[in-house]
Amino acid sequence: MSGVSQWYERQFMFAFPADVYPNICVRLRGTPARLEEFVRSCSPQMLTRKADEKWSAQEHAGHLLDLEPLWLKRLEDFVQGRAELSTTDLSNRKTHEANYNSQAIESVLADFRKARWRLVEHAAEVDPALYSRELVHPRLQKGMRLVDHLYFVAEHDDHHLANIWQLIRR
């Protein structure tokens, strides 16, 4: 089995219609359940095991939690009509410093579920006219509609879920 591609090497084509917005929101709403399903039967040793000095499965889960404030802030960027999406710390310092391997996975999962609920609830309240509003993504340096932003979040979720899946299957 081949490895998961590097996130920063990904290129995105946002060629789908904005009316897929509800589908993407449903996908985002399902991420906590998929994450919980992956880790449900794993031992703490399996979840905290690192491969090649990279993040453990539990650290990947923590990273998903760490980015929820950014996703919510970017959603608000669209609502406020800013010119560019908020930037992030590309070094992922928060995840590296959080020491997720010393935390109970149940706590990480519960916090992620609560944070994701806030995001999808806020997304559900957005005026449909904003689905097509376009702002510049700071790293990609390309226009991104609100629907594209949520797709990007869903793809980011799947990227880390794929890493978790590979780690726990080793």
Please name the residue that has the structure tokens 């084509």. Answer: 13
pLDDT at 95: 95
**131 Cβ contact partners less than 8 Å away, ≥ 6 residues apart:** 18, 19, 21, 145, 146, 147
CA distance 34 to 32: 5
pTM: 0.92
Exposure class string for 103-137: b at 16+ Cβ within 10 A, else e: eebeebbeebeebbeebbeebeebeeebbebebeb
What the block records as the tokens of 137 is 């993504």
pLDDT at 170: 82
Domains of the chain, first to last: 17-169 (1.20.120.450)
Closest CA to 103 of 66, 158, 154: 66
pLDDT at 51: 84
95 touches 62 (CB < 8 A): yes
CA distance 74 to 70: 6
pLDDT at 1: 36
148 touches 45 (CB < 8 A): no
Phi then psi for residue 133, to 5 deg, are: -60, 135
pLDDT at 47: 97
Written as tens digits, the pLDDT of the chain (170 aa) is 356 667 657 667 788 899 999 999 999 999 999 999 999 999 999 999 998 889 999 999 999 999 999 999 999 999 999 999 999 998 899 999 999 999 999 999 999 999 999 999 999 999 999 999 999 999 889 999 999 999 999 999 999 999 999 999 88
